[in-house]
Chain A
């Protein structure tokens, strides 16, 4: 059973397009996160939702918008994609914000 799943695993698209990455967790956790890992392997948090409420919103361009339809899902929508958005995006979840986080397998986004 996959605890935290992401779709798609790979996403190749052109500059200026709009795309979404979906994340689902079946762990019954209340908190979900999005992280970005750039080409230098640097991992940085982007957003976090707790019980569908945004609790972390790092300095991320407005083109990135998270959406949490329910506690088990946290999707990431990106408008007007740029070359610099190319990265691996990881979704994670935890029972509560202070508890250990479980990460998904990642979505590799390539913008050409």
Chain B
């Protein structure tokens, strides 16, 4: 299983961009990089995923390093509702669907 390293916590001001880094140097060539987040007292929520190219959706952008050993989740304008634990998860190739959650990054957003 690929290991990930994320900062324990980060702070941001409301309406400013946030860059959440993740190192996954042992990722295999076929593993997708998934990001989930967990808001307080809620279940995890899918954010975005990618393989090699940068990806955008309505929630965030995902920038993947060329060597795929790291990625950055970008929230373009943080809101108070974005305060959550963000998990970077290399997705094991194959069909099991197993998600391995690490400690994640706790994002605080200040008004």
Contact = CB atoms under 8 A, between A and B. Distances in A.
Do A and B pair up? The answer is yes
Interface of A: 4, 31, 33, 35, 41-45, 48, 50, 55-56, 90, 92, 94, 96-106
Most buried by A among B36, B43, B44: B43
Interface string B84-109: 01010001001111111101000000
Contacts, number: 59
A97 B44 contact: no
Interface string B34-73: 1010100111111001000000000000000000000000
Contact of A56 (B34, B41, B85, B96): B96
Q: What's the interface size class on B, roughly?
A: 20 to 34
Contacts of B41: 106
Contacts of A94: 97
Interface string B10-51: 000000000000000000000000101010011111100100
Contacts of A90: 43-44
Given A50-B95, A90-B44, A98-B97, 13 more contacts: A42-B101, A43-B38, A43-B44, A48-B98, A50-B97, A56-B97, A98-B91, A101-B44, A101-B97, A102-B46, A103-B43, A105-B42, A105-B43
